[in-house]
Amino acid sequence: MAFVSGFAVVSSTTSSASLCSAASSFAPKASMTKRCAVVTKAASSSSLRMMTDAEIETKARGLLTELFKKTPCMPIMVRLAWHDAGTYDKNTKTGGANASIRYAPELSHGANAGLKIAIDLLEPIKKAVPEISYADLYQLASIHGIEFGGGPKIPFKLGRKDVSAEDCTPDGRLPDANLRMGHLRDTFYRMGLTDREIIALSGAHTYGRAHSDRSGFPDKAWTTNPHVFDNAYFKELLANNNIELLRLNSDEALLDEAAMKKIVKDYAEDQNLFFKDYSAAHHRLSTLGTNLFQA
């Protein structure tokens, strides 16, 4: 890389002494000291190359892969990212993917019980890659976790901004799993999402399990292989023949209406279709409250 000093074009690997010498041949003697100081500072700064966004993402993904190999915590990363972004209100332009969930006022909400585990697991990665914002890291951990478990690739771009504790949202913005479609529509429509996106995003229940000490629901998974991201959730939802698996009111709500049930059937029969729709819906969710959405 080269930069211009006065009229001389010099390499970033040139010593500061050489730069001063080059500058002196073009500058009046009275201004030489000042110019040399500027050139020396520029030479020093040029040695501290900033990481590109691609390098930051690659480094963070590598560390996430190491984490997931040590402990299969991918599902809780999906929940962390979902609960951070899912507070978005399109009318007030508040909430969204901004890492407000790491602060006590929001982390203490009932729906977020247990998520400090995910936040603490990601802290060493944040320290190793300080260039990435918490908001970006939480969403990347979810996206990479889904890919790690065999799920679809989801568009991702750095650029989310971390907010302060004053920007925490009030309790009650996340879905209540005890309620049915009317409530789900109220919640998802507030974010700007559609019926089809409600169903696609519900498919993330194919990953992980409930924990009674966090959600109050039985210690059960929605599928027989909860560390694989696939379309098994929809198959099990339709089959309803395994009492060892979890079914919540918010799951059964997807079957309440013929049009919604048809989408569930489509996803159960065609994993590629589910992956396509899920990727698009998750991308939208992960960019709520930002200008990063790419249609």
The residue type found at 175 is: P
83/44 Cα distance (integer angstroms): 43
CA atoms within 13 A on the CB side of 280: 13
* Residue 227 appears among annotated catalytic residues: no
CA atoms within 13 A on the CB side of 199: 27
Sign of the torsion angle spanned by Cα atoms 222, 74, 115, 176: negative
**Residue 255 Cα to chain centre, angstroms:** 29
Distance set, CA 225 to CA 60, 121, 245, 282 (Å): 27, 23, 11, 21
Sign of the torsion angle spanned by Cα atoms 69, 211, 82, 155: positive
Given the residues 83, 109, 282, 283, select the one marked as catalytic.
83
CA atoms within 13 A on the CB side of 65: 9
- Active-site residues: which are they? 83
